[in-house]
Structure 1
Amino acid sequence: MLEIVDSHFHIWDLDVLRLPWLNSCKGVIKRSFSADDLVKEYAKVGVDFKGGVYVEVDCDDAIKEDEYIFTLNSPQILAKVMRARHLSGHMRLPTGIVGVREPLHIETSPRGRCLERSFIEGMGVLAERGLIFESCNRVDELMDIYQAAAQVPELKLVINHCGNVSELTDDYKAAMTKLASLPNVYCKVSGFATEDKTFVKNLLDFISGTFDHGKLLYASNFPVVELYSSFAEHLNAVREYFGDDQDIFSKNTKKLYKINKPQVFASVIKLRPEKAEYYKQLHADPFSSVNKMIRECGITHYQIFNRDDLLFSVMVYEGDDFDYDMAKMAQDPETQRWWRETDPCQTRIEGAHKDEWWASMDMVYDLNKK
């Protein structure tokens, strides 16, 4: 059964929150929606729904929305993206969040807002704190968000709803290609009408051919999806194109939003003295494709240290299936090419198990646990 971790859903209680934008929407979503409603939608299509990422709903009172969501303590909310009323170097940031969104597609957001100095400063603050920025843009301002993101390349930025596209213009393709070229830009596969099957295929062909596979995230956009499609039709369209790809539907989202508890691995191997200099040269300028695959496989921290003929490594893994990711890495042709260069520089330590290359080490002390 397909496992789904939804990278983008909304819920709201209209007895608690005011959402003025609903006044211009069709009646189908002008009511309250709970996490249980989302669970029921997934149950209808027969998938294993694990929960997902709550994304702010453009409430007229961001603090009240924070209180409402945090008080719910819903098991379906695995991560929270809350509202930044105005991105800046001194913005309010709630605790317990993975990122923020300042909607750039709404009437009250001036054109060019993401190029203002305060906005860029706010992006820098998010990057420093390891928080994500969710970018919901007018389609004709996608090049603006590229220009902003290029100034803070270390920031993880997620393009919502394929950039809110309705037509595959040359300008749209150019802007999205620029965005995909940045090291930390992701794209949510959502937001498109499903009635025109040719458009859907052409869009998904473009998105999947432009963004790295590890940077594509399935998102339902529940319940707003009902304004341009239906929950089931949109999910089926994504499944028909990608199949039941666990990276798209679950694993990429878990890694990006750090939904899993980090695992730390330490290991040791011997360095052949006659190969030491070559080994160090390789790692001074490693294959970029190898670093990319390491990150794609859920490894967020990896360092190798050398003392005499020993190499020690420390690795932090934040994926949800270590064996799956390591098998994926082992099947990557560029990683295999890298290992053909590095493996001859190394040899097992005495006492290593037959199935160990790098021998694992046990932790004996952790400052943060004392």
Structure 2
Amino acid sequence: MVIDSHQHFWIYDSVRDSWITPEMEKIRQNFLPEDLKPVLAANGVDGCVAVQADQSNSETEFLLQLAEANDFIKGVVGWIDLRADNLYDRLEVCSQFEKLKGFRHIVQGEPDDFLLQPDFIKGVGQLVAFDFTYDILVYPTQLTASYTFAKQLPKVKFVLDHIAKPYIKKGEMDTWAKDIKKLAELPNVYCKVSGMVTEADWYSWQNADFVPYLDTVLEAFGTDRLMFGSDWPVCLVAAEYSAMKDVLANYLSKLSKNEQNKVWGENAVKFYALD
């Protein structure tokens, strides 16, 4: 089974979605299940995990409604205020939704030490009681804090989104690689091979641009803790779905079929407990 472990849906709102800058005009529109379903079918993808793009309870409700109506949406990573005083009670309510698998905070938009706040650490720690996962969305400068954060929560299942958005366009990777390898020492941390094309030159990237970064995460996490993700529709600013998927397909072709199957879907099924 092939699972896209990371994609988004939205009804475009120019105020709420102000992060979609003018040069990203291509994605300043609605993206809904009826838009993604034929794309997945054309690319041999069996299902997906819908991840929050807005930090609101209504976003989680929106994604759950879409998942309920569309079988190919296998799981949802929503948003919840992880610092709320009544978090445990709210998580208990959330646990009633079978397709709600975990949560994410857009830490890339926060100060570099955001993850080290005691109330945030405490909140993420409460996810364990309900078998919820946590997606780590950070920039390379936040990887050191990510390691300190995750090390304090060994029972939480973490996955690093977009290989931490390295500076592929600039070809910079030394500090990122060192910090990635450190984070990967924690056995409860997985990594999504996603979002790479948007960190490269949108108009002239080549497959070779990604090889050093893919080599690094493969060496660090191994094939048991890597999972494919598209970051659709964000990826469309730099590549069509098929081109983005081919980057990983070409790279993984050197591995055994068993190893490839893990990255393409088995690891995502295991991590998110997908049906």
TM-score with structure 1 setting the length: 0.64
Contact preservation (8 Å) 1:89, 1:125: no
Contact preservation (8 Å) 1:89, 1:118: no
**Alignment correspondent of 1:254:** 269
Contact preservation (8 Å) 1:87, 1:102: no
**Alignment correspondent of 2:64:** 70
Secondary structure, aligned partner of 1:19: coil
Structure 1: tracts of 5 or more residues without a match: 261-370
| 1:205-244 correspondence to structure 2 within 5 Å | 205-243=215-253
Residue among 163, 175, 184 paired with 2:188:
184
Higher RCO, Cα 8 Å, sep 6+:
2
| Bigger CA radius of gyration | 1
The structure with more strand, counted as a fraction of residues: 1
Residue among 170, 177, 181 paired with 2:174:
170
1:169-192 deviation line (CA, Å, top 9, x unaligned): 322111111111101000000111
Whole-angstrom distance in 2 between the partners of 1:216 and 1:90: 33
Secondary structure, aligned partner of 2:46: strand
- 1:161 to 1:87, Cα distance in 2 relative to 1, 3 A: farther
How far off is 1:26 after superposition?
Answer: 1.3
Q: Determine if the alignment matches structure 1 residue 82 to structure 2 residue 92.
A: no
How far off is 1:154 after superposition?
Answer: 1.5
Whole-angstrom distance in 2 between the partners of 1:83 and 1:223: 19
Contact preservation (8 Å) 1:83, 1:101: yes
Contact preservation (8 Å) 2:3, 2:47: yes
The structure with more helix, counted as a fraction of residues: 2
Structure 2: tracts of 5 or more residues without a match: none
**Alignment correspondent of 1:98:** 101
Whole-angstrom distance in 2 between the partners of 1:216 and 1:119: 26
Whole-angstrom distance in 1 between the partners of 2:165 and 2:85: 27
Residue among 7, 11, 14 paired with 2:12:
14
Whole-angstrom distance in 2 between the partners of 1:80 and 1:161: 17
Contact preservation (8 Å) 2:163, 2:192: yes
Whole-angstrom distance in 1 between the partners of 2:195 and 2:65: 29
Q: Report how many aligned residue pairs link the two structures.
A: 252
**Share of identical aligned residues, percent?**
26
TM-score with structure 2 setting the length: 0.84
Secondary structure, aligned partner of 1:213: coil
1:260-294 deviation line (CA, Å, top 9, x unaligned): 3xxxxxxxxxxxxxxxxxxxxxxxxxxxxxxxxxx
Secondary structure, aligned partner of 1:235: helix
**Alignment correspondent of 1:26:** 24
Whole-angstrom distance in 2 between the partners of 1:82 and 1:71: 12
Contact preservation (8 Å) 1:4, 1:51: yes
Whole-angstrom distance in 2 between the partners of 1:186 and 1:174: 16
1:26-65 deviation line (CA, Å, top 9, x unaligned): 11001001112112223333x1x22111100125xx2222
1:188-236 deviation line (CA, Å, top 9, x unaligned): 0011126133321111111111102110000011101123333221100
Contact preservation (8 Å) 2:63, 2:78: no
**Alignment correspondent of 1:265:** none
Whole-angstrom distance in 2 between the partners of 1:14 and 1:84: 21
- 1:84 to 1:172, Cα distance in 2 relative to 1, 3 A: same
